[in-house]
Amino acid sequence: MNDVLDVALRLLVVFVVFLTFPLIVGQTEHKVMAHMQGRLGPMYAGGFHGWAQLIADGVKFAQKEDVVPAGADRRIFQLAPAVALLPYLLVLLAIPIGPGEGAVGQVLDAGVFFVLAVMGVGVLGSLMAGWASANKFSLLGGLRTAAQLLAYELPMLLTAASVAMAAGTVSLVGILDAFEWWWVPWQITGALVFFVAGLAELQRPPFDMPVADSEIIFGAYTEYTGLRFALFLLAEYAGIVILCGLTTVLFLGGWHGPWGADGLGWIWTLLKTAVLAFVVIWLRVTYPRLREDQLQKLSWTLLVPLSLAQIALTGIVKVVIR
Partner 1 sequence: MTLAAAAGTAAHATTTTAAETHGFLSPTGVEIAFLLVGLVTLGAAIITVTTRQLVHAALWLVVALGGLAVEYLLLTAEFIAWVQVLIYVGSVVVLLLFGLMLTRAPIGRSPDADSGNRWVALAVSVVAAAALVWVVADAFRTTWIDLDGAPSGSTEVTGASLFQHWVLPFEALSVLLLAALVGAIVLSRKAKDGAATGARATRRDSEGVR
Q: List residues binding partner 1 (CB under 8 A).
A: 71-73, 76, 108-110, 113-114, 116-118, 120-121, 123-124, 127-128, 130-132, 134, 139, 142-143, 146-147, 149-151, 153, 157, 169-171, 293, 296, 300
**With respect to partner 1, which residue has the nearer C-beta, 1 or 39?**
1
Q: How far is the CB of 140 from partner 1 (least distance, A)?
A: 9
What distance in Å separates the CA atoms of residue 39 and residue 285, rounded to the nearest whole number?
A: 13
The 10 Å Cβ neighbour count of residue 15 is 14
Q: Compute the least distance from the CB of residue 134 to partner 1, in Å.
A: 5
Measured from the CB of residue 213, what is the shortest distance to partner 1 in angstroms?
Answer: 21
- Least distance to partner 1, CB of residue 183, Å: 20
Q: Which is nearer to partner 1, 52 or 146 (CB)?
A: 146
Q: Which is nearer to partner 1, 122 or 265 (CB)?
A: 122
CB of 35 to partner 1, least distance (A): 37
Nearer to partner 1, 51 or 300 (CB): 300
Name, in order, each residue with C-beta under 8 angstroms of 258's C-beta and a sequence gap of 6 or more: none
Q: Which is nearer to partner 1, 53 or 171 (CB)?
A: 171
CA separation, residue 51 to residues 26, 202, 231 (Å): 11, 25, 20
CB atoms within 10 A of CB 78: 17
- Shortest Å distance, C-beta 141 to partner 1: 10
DSSP state of 209: T
| 38 phi and psi angles, rounded to 5 deg | 65, 40
Spatial CA neighbour of 25 closest among 276, 289, 287: 276
Nearer to partner 1, 57 or 153 (CB): 153
The smaller minimum CB distance to partner 1, of residues 23 and 110, is found at 110
Smallest distance from the beta carbon of 172 to partner 1, in angstroms?
A: 12
Q: What is the DSSP string of 65-126?
A: -----TTS-HHHHHHHHHHHHHHHHHHHTT---SSSGGGSS---TTHHHHHHHHHHHHHHHH
Euclidean distance between CA atoms 296 and 151, whole angstroms: 6
Asked if residue 24 lies in contact with residue 241, where contact means CB atoms within 8 angstroms, the answer is no
